[in-house]
Amino acid sequence: MPKLAVNVVGDSVSFFDPLDPDNKVNITFERTFRISDDDKVYPLPPSLGPFPICKVDDYADKCPPKWRAHGGVFIPTYQRVRYDTNSNNSGSNVDELYRCGGARKSN
């Protein structure tokens, strides 16, 4: 499976097939309220706006050495902050993107 390319524009991350750049998934990470973990069903909380996506190079003096060596981006947040994702898929081959950082293309 070929690797997907990544592009950051403003507060969204775009994952795309380098051989077909129009076939992409754009993702934003939205701040939201925490919901009680009490096995009850609650409506989806409203968005409080997108998290900024920051480049490691812009904060090199504050980032861990491993981050500086690898580069990339990060989302500044507190552990207790809840987030949700919004995505739109403009192609047929890039189907699933996992929050753990892996991507899979369907056949």
Task: Report which secondary-structure segment, H or E, holds 22.
Answer: strand 20-32
Q: What is the per-residue pLDDT for 61? A: 92
- How many Å apart are CA 47 and CA 70, to the nearest integer? 31
Q: How confident is the model at residue 42, as a pLDDT?
A: 85
pTM given for the model: 0.64
User: For position 98, what pLDDT does the model report?
Assistant: 38
Residue-range domain boundaries for the chain: 5-51+81-105
Distance separating alpha carbons of residues 51 and 40, to the nearest angstrom: 27
pLDDT by residue for the chain (107 residues), tens only, comes to 567 788 888 888 888 888 887 788 888 888 888 877 788 888 888 888 888 888 888 998 998 899 889 888 888 887 777 877 777 766 544 444 433 343 333 33
